Amino acid sequence: MIAVILSGHGGFASGVAKAIFQVIGEQPQFKFIDFPEEATTLQFEAQMREAIAEIDSGEGIVCLTDLLGGTPFRTASLLSQERDDIEVVTGTNLQMAAEMLLERNELKLIEFRDQAVKCGHRGITSLAAEMSAKETHQEEVEEDGI
The 10s digit of each residue's pLDDT in 104-142 is: 999 999 999 999 999 999 989 999 999 998 887 666 655
In this predicted model, what pLDDT tens digit does every residue of 27-41 receive, in sequence order? 999 999 999 999 999
In this predicted model, what pLDDT tens digit does every residue of 40-79 receive, in sequence order? 999 999 999 999 999 999 999 999 999 999 999 999 999 9
Which fold would CATH assign to domain 3-143? Rossmann fold (3.40.50)
Contact 64, 97 (CB under 8 A): yes
Residue burial 78-98, b: 16+ Cβ < 10 Å; e: rest: ebbeeeeebbbbbbbbebbbb
Tell me: pLDDT of 144 over 70.
no
pLDDT of 135: 82
pLDDT of 142: 57
* C-alpha–C-alpha distance, residues 143 and 111, integer Å: 36
pLDDT of 61: 98
Q: How far is CA 81 from CA 8, 74, 75, 100, in A?
A: 19, 11, 10, 23
> What average pLDDT does the structure give for the chain?
94
Tell me: pLDDT of 26 over 80.
yes
pLDDT of 67: 97
Contact 101, 4 (CB under 8 A): yes
